[in-house]
């Protein structure tokens, strides 16, 4: 991973056997309108590109997936939300005794995954509050915000991304 100026970062991986996450963002995260450019993205294995974060009390790992490669998120289908000109499907999944920002723990993952074409290019917007409110309407409540960032995640395969967040 290379950290560029301001909100820019780039990452590449080749025949990576595990899972990694990287990106740039905020601590704490929260309700905000996030702008980003995704100049390049490729992933031959499974992975995601989008907004990622954690809350505590309760411990929640969340994703707003702008690009998703591989099979659909594992979990229970909850509904849909429309935001920033796109439709997203909502899933939730419980992780049991898995790594977290508080060590090994049991916690929920919340996913909004963009249904429309992949979102590369310039000047995209993600209004996090639209997703948070949609999740809450399904009983998927967040806690105290911790980290939040524009994410590149890969699990296996090879790929690259070059993105800027503001």
Q: Where are the domains of the chain?
A: 2-6+25-165
Catalytic residue check, 66? no
Q: Which CATH architecture has domain 2-6+25-165?
A: Sandwich (2.60)
Decide: residue 74, CB within 10 A, 0-12 exposed, 13-18 middle, 19+ buried.
Answer: exposed
Q: Which residues pair with 109 in a beta bridge?
A: 61, 93
- Cα torsion 49, 31, 132, 28 to 10°: value is 70
Distance CA(98)–CA(101), nearest Å, equals: 10
From 153, 154, 157, 159, the catalytic residue = 153
Catalytic residue check, 61? yes
Which parts of the chain have pLDDT scores under 70?
A: 117-120
Distance CA(134)–CA(82), nearest Å, equals: 9
pLDDT averaged over every residue in the chain: 93
pLDDT at 16: 80
């Amino acid at each position: 991973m290379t950290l560029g100026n301001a909100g820019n970062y780039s990452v590449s991986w080749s025949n990576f056997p595990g899972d990694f996450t990287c990106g740039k963002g905020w601590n704490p995260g929260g309700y905000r309108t996030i702008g980003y450019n995704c100049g390049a993205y490729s992933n031959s294995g499974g992975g995601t590109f989008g907004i990622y974060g954690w809350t505590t009390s309760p411990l929640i790992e969340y994703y707003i997936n702008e690009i998703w490669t591989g099979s659909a998120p594992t979990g229970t289908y909850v509904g849909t939300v429309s935001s920033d000109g796109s439709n997203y499907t909502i899933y939730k999944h419980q992780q049991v005794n898995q790594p977290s920002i508080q060590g090994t723990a049991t916690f929920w993952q919340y996913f909004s995954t963009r249904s429309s074409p992949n979102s590369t290019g310039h000047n995209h917007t993600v209004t996090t509050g639209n997703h948070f409110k949609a999740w809450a309407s399904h009983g998927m409540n967040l806690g105290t915000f911790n980290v939040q960032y524009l994410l590149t995640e890969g699990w296996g395969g090879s790929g690259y991304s070059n993105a800027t967040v503001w």
